[in-house]
Structure 1
Amino acid sequence: MGVNMKITELDRYLFGEGTHYEIYKLLGAHVGVNRKKEGVFFAVWAPHAKSVSVVGNFNNWDEKADIMKCDNNMGLYQLFIPKVREGDLYKFCITAQSGELLYKADPYANYSELRPGNASRVVDLTGYKWSDSVWMKKRQEFDVDKDAMSVYEVHPGSWKKHPSQGEDDPGFYNYRELAHELAKYVKEMGYTHVELMGIAEHPFDGSWGYQVTGYYAPTSRYGTPEDFRYFVNYLHKNKIGVILDWVPAHFPKDAHGLADFDGAPTYEYADPRKGEHPDWGTKVFDYGKNEVKNFLIANALFWIEEFHIDGLRVDAVASMLYLDYGRRDGEWVPNQYGENKNLEAIEFFRHLNSVVLGKHKGVVMIAEESTAWPMVTGKPEDGGLGFSLKWNMGWMHDFLEYMKLDPYFRKYNHHKMTFSTSYAYSERYVLVLSHDEVVHLKCSMINKMPGLGQDKFENLKAGYSYMIGHPGKKLLFMGQDFGQYQEWSEERELDWYLLGEQNHQQLQNYVKELLKMYKKYPALYANDSNYQGLEWINADDASRSIYSFVRWSPTGRNNLLFVINYTPVARDDYRVGVPKRKQYKLILNSKEPEFGGDVHKEVVDYKAVKKECDGRPFSFAYPLPAYGVAVFRF
């Protein structure tokens, strides 16, 4: 209730400079008291408007009833309306210069009507009692270079669903129900974070939340803003971090949204060669306009400060960096140097990441950037973009191309698995097997694997083992940890019934064991940014499609040796060269009965002997099964 009931000169100045980082506390709709009357203070930025009024259920949507005041040339309109209460629906009725009336949802609204309705709803965000102080304090110590991070990517509307009660009830879980179910699953599996798709308000379920109309509103599909706060609070109390997908690259053309907001391009570039994405049919934010940059940077801070979010995964970064992204010759405008780099977007990222990471120690900013743009995770002062982490799309592409191959042909593509280690330290990476890889006829992860029946499961276990052993944080999309057969669809829940079948349960057991091992051994994460963290034992055993490597711990204790066989041929006396004449303790064997194999851990300790192998003076022999994975500690 302590909101400013007036836009001041300082507010105007900071907003005009693009540095009003709490602008969301001013613009939008805020419950408060003015001259001893309770009501709601409305404010909106509409620089090209002829006039603006507030319409809602409180004034019968009459555009003449509550006309806003604009007392300067910036286009900031404001009005206090005493009769409005929390829960009321409203829009801004904007009279364009042409005289056309535009009924727009509030860009800064904190809550919206449930789709297909698209009005904004008054809500008071003050007064929630957080109880996650232990997590928030510990978060400040999180070191992206040295700490473990395994992410479970989730689409809340289709993770689990209640039976539908007809078209008007899609069976969504409420944020509170979801908090309990999801926290239980994530803890049991051993992930450290969840990454949520589609939380900001969006009109169309099929966009998965990547075409946003309400940047400041958690979607009403799953409940109220307070329900969403409960969700984050509950996951934090269960020691689980929450990352949101965030979409500053583009927005849809829906009539109630940001497109041509006041009858002219306001949030988007005016030139359609810069302001439209031909591939997606969407508008591109104008990163050269201070008020637009302010809208986005304050939005990132809003989720972190008002909802205690632990990080943002920034979608479609490449589409922002390149002026010719998805455009043919003649469809784009070069920058002042005749190049295809969007200099304004580059400056925006540096500003964004400097402010967010500077203000919030332990928060992460993650770039989904699909090209070889240099220094995405480099410091802005050194010419970098300033992100904490970058999705490793190159690794993902090569990994999936290799894993899809019939094992006979893998020997001709051996380098596909080793190439990523040559650039693993050029950025701080997240290895991702995301939702994008299991839709649009790309097959589910299990169905990408060659062979029939159990062979598919053995291949996938070998694949996931390499992912855990390879430098970089980890991300796996929901359903892939138990071998979902169907491609993902936002319209139905995951095929949880598959866990009643033995091979799916065994795959899930194996992924759980991998995640447990990942968190337990610093060798698998504490040296991710140090090229000394990985050493190949044999990167060139192409004829047998076997890979062996060491992950070194920073302390030199509990180092791990990985041996992975990508063919259905068993090597009963496989000899591996080792760096030291030590005892090697078998800590993970993919062929144990709980994972679907028939090999019991009879021998767990293997002593290296003085016998040359893999160019090393010491080695030991181990019976390596078909598609076998063995991890040894030394």
Structure 2
Amino acid sequence: MGDREVRIVDGEPTLLTEQDLWLFAEGTHTRLYEVLGAHPITVEGKAGTLFAVWAPDAEAVSVVGDFNRWDPERHRMRPHRQSGIWECFVPGVGPGALYKYHLTSRHGPRLLKADPFAFHSEVPPRSASVVWDLAYRWGDSAWLQVRGERNALGAPISIYELHLGSWQRTEDGRYLTYRELAPRLAAYLEELGFTHVEFLPVMEHPFYGSWGYQITGYFAPTSRYGTPQDFMYLVDYLHQKGIGVILDWVPSHFATDGHGLGQFDGSHLYEHADPRRGIHPDWGSFTFNYNRHEVRSFLLSSALFWLEQYHADGLRLDAVASMLYLDYSRATGEWIPNEQGGREDLAAIAFLRKLNEEVYRQFPDVQTIAEESTAWPMVSRPTSLGGLGFGLKWDMGWMHDTLHYMAKDPIHRKHHHDKLTFRMLYAAHENFVLPLSHDEVVHGKGSLLGKMPGDEWQKFANLRLLLGYMYASAGKKLLFMGGEIGSWREWDHERAVEWALLDHAPHRGVQRWVADLNRLYRTEPALHTRDCGDLGFQWVEANDASSSVVAFLRWGREGRDVVLVVGNFTPVVRSGYRVGVPYPGRWVELLNGDATSYGGSGQGNLGGLDAEPIPSHGFPHSLPLTLPPLATLFLKPGPAQSP
């Protein structure tokens, strides 16, 4: 891997240099996967594999596998000076060999552990690591040349969030492989117009029901769907179709399975020893010890690994809030204050800043995205200004407020109008993604369609209204699979999306609406170039709670580059509803969520109407609009009229 040279130190082969040991101990190494783990090499004409593992509290370490009948006496590892790293070269062992580490702890127990740096693993529930070579011939150079533009804050970023095991399945219920997914997924994303796909964690995880969030293999894509090269093929294929790939990455906690990182060498190596710090209160998993320099190097290397080796275009960090606060989900007495007496995890904060600095230094054309559910300041602001350094942050407040509002019967929405308008008080504080994610359609919460009030027609209209409002609002977009067709049931990781629903017109209408929203979002600069910041949004009508109507302008960077958005959140058709506009002349109706092609009632403005010289909402002209029921309208001014 890379240009690493095999050196002979004390008569034994090694990939480690003095600089590696220094950076590892300093907590700043970002390429540990090049020197630790299992690496097929040739030494003095003998092909084999060099194994290296960090286990400073071990008294003895052996590599065991199918090549030595899992016998810990056959291939004992030697300590690499005083580094805490153990090494061993085994001739004749190559890619495909199964292995683990047999560790004898100074505290007594003997342990059998998978390799923390393994590139490949057995298919769960088996848990052995697999020696692997990551060589692959990529074909995505054209994408890599332009992805800086495609990932920019001023670019249209519309993300389709997907769980690999339950998007589609075969007729007999089998998972699709990475290679089977590639053409199907790419064609679907192209058809619907999404710019990016975000995979729930692909890193190896023992428990399928964790959706990938309980990880044991931070350097291995799950073998459930194929080999590392198969996953590379999936990413490569999507890139060649112009689709970006974002990976969920979980540095907040890790699985407690016996073969994993927990108590790796008999000590609390990767996790905190004190359960008030070392056990995640929500999931019972282990939490990383960010105070430990070597652990920071491990995590930095994992993040950079997916960007380097798998060409990922972004990393979305899960549960960032649980990293930032020592008292996260903990009662009084269940947490330990920091050295200043506060509740902030200073080591985690320093790690996140370092992570983002390294990612953007080495890969300036990608994005890091934080799922951060509190009002922590400047999450998506540069570290040089005191921020955490993320590129984007999920707007959990928008999600909660909007879903709370949409779940109300329209007759009561006038009493909750602030749920629609409050967001604009803080929308420019961060670079936001508006997420309608998997978390909102599980654990009894119901599907997006199921959350909507009213009869069946109103449910579909409300869902189209919700989606239209998201695409109209400032911020990047994220929609979890199934939402785009109006799934009735909440997400079940054991079953595929309800694709048979597309035999029914209302579901096809929702899907067509999402495709048209994506097309409009991509083609109208006013809807994306100023997603981040306060110059791209202007209220026209924010206070009509009695009618449950909002109207606002989305501004681009050029003169008349503007889109008017009007949302009617009641089932009442409103004729002659006057909305002020900045320009005279014809205003063209770009999209109407009540169009019959989407399953609506067909109310609207016959494709457009002329502004009248009647002042309204502080503008010199206005439009007497027909507002269709439970629908979003998008309009833009036609060409400027000659004087």
Report the TM-score range of the alignment, normalised by the length of the smaller protein. Answer: over 0.9
Q: Give 1:382 shift.
A: 1.2
Partner in structure 1 of residue 154 of structure 2: 146
What secondary structure sits across from 1:320 in the alignment?
A: helix
Q: What is the aligned counterpart of 2:38 among 17, 25, 29?
A: 29
Letter in 2 for 1:151: I
Q: Give 1:201 shift.
A: 0.1
What secondary structure sits across from 2:590 in the alignment?
A: strand
Q: Give 1:612 shift.
A: 3.0
Letter in 2 for 1:256: H
Farther-moved stretch of structure 1 (526-535 vs 371-380): 526-535
Q: Deviations over 1:9-65 (max 9, x none)?
A: 222112111222211011000111012100001000001111100000000000111
- TM-score where L is the length of structure 1: 0.97
Partner in structure 2 of residue 89 of structure 1: 98
> Over aligned residue pairs, what C-alpha RMSD do you find?
1.3
Q: Aligned pair 1:108/2:117, yes or no?
A: yes
Q: Aligned pair 1:286/2:286, yes or no?
A: no
What are the ranges of 5 or more consecutive residues in structure 1 without an aligned counterpart? 165-169
Cα distance in 2, alignment partners of residues 530 and 296 from structure 1: 31
What secondary structure sits across from 1:91 in the alignment?
A: strand
Q: Give 1:590 shift.
A: 1.8
Cα distance in 1, alignment partners of residues 233 and 468 from structure 2: 35
Q: Aligned pair 1:472/2:480, yes or no?
A: no
Cα distance in 2, alignment partners of residues 347 and 383 from structure 1: 11
Q: Give 1:143 shift.
A: 5.5
Cα distance in 2, alignment partners of residues 486 and 143 from structure 1: 33
Q: Give 1:326 shift.
A: 1.3
8 Å CA contact 2:472, 2:565 repeated in 1: yes
Partner in structure 2 of residue 487 of structure 1: 490
8 Å CA contact 2:468, 2:593 repeated in 1: no
What are the ranges of 5 or more consecutive residues in structure 2 without an aligned counterpart? 7-12, 638-643
Q: What is the aligned counterpart of 1:136 among 121, 144, 147?
A: 144
Cα distance in 1, alignment partners of residues 134 and 62 from structure 2: 24
Q: Aligned pair 1:49/2:52, yes or no?
A: no
Q: What is the aligned counterpart of 2:510 among 500, 507, 510?
A: 507
Partner in structure 1 of residue 212 of structure 2: 209
Q: Give 1:308 shift.
A: 0.3
Partner in structure 2 of residue 167 of structure 1: none
Partner in structure 1 of residue 163 of structure 2: 155
Cα distance in 2, alignment partners of residues 98 and 297 from structure 1: 29
Q: Deviations over 1:364-397 (max 9, x none)?
A: 0000000000000111111110000000000000
8 Å CA contact 1:141, 1:361 repeated in 2: no
Q: Give 1:537 shift.
A: 0.7
CA shift in 2, pair 1:620/1:8, >3 Å: closer
Q: Deviations over 1:75-112 (max 9, x none)?
A: 10011100212111100001011332100000000000
Cα distance in 2, alignment partners of residues 191 and 111 from structure 1: 30
Q: Within 5 Å, give how 1:206-605 maps onto structure 2.
A: 206-599=209-602, 603-605=606-608
Q: Give 1:601 shift.
A: 7.2
Q: Aligned pair 1:77/2:86, yes or no?
A: yes
Cα distance in 2, alignment partners of residues 602 and 247 from structure 1: 48
Cα distance in 2, alignment partners of residues 328 and 65 from structure 1: 50
Partner in structure 1 of residue 622 of structure 2: 619
Percent identity between the two aligned chains: 49
8 Å CA contact 1:139, 1:361 repeated in 2: no
Structure 1 runs (4+) deviating above 4 angstroms are: none
What secondary structure sits across from 1:450 in the alignment?
A: coil
Cα distance in 2, alignment partners of residues 111 and 628 from structure 1: 49
Q: Aligned pair 1:173/2:176, yes or no?
A: yes
8 Å CA contact 2:114, 2:127 repeated in 1: yes
Cα distance in 1, alignment partners of residues 174 and 206 from structure 2: 17
Cα distance in 1, alignment partners of residues 600 and 275 from structure 2: 59
8 Å CA contact 1:201, 1:215 repeated in 2: yes
Q: Deviations over 1:262-282 (max 9, x none)?
A: 001000112221111132111
8 Å CA contact 2:603, 2:628 repeated in 1: no
What secondary structure sits across from 2:484 in the alignment?
A: coil
Letter in 2 for 1:34: V
8 Å CA contact 2:589, 2:605 repeated in 1: no
Partner in structure 1 of residue 9 of structure 2: none
Letter in 2 for 1:138: V
8 Å CA contact 2:594, 2:604 repeated in 1: no
Residues paired across the two proteins, number: 628
Cα distance in 1, alignment partners of residues 445 and 539 from structure 2: 32
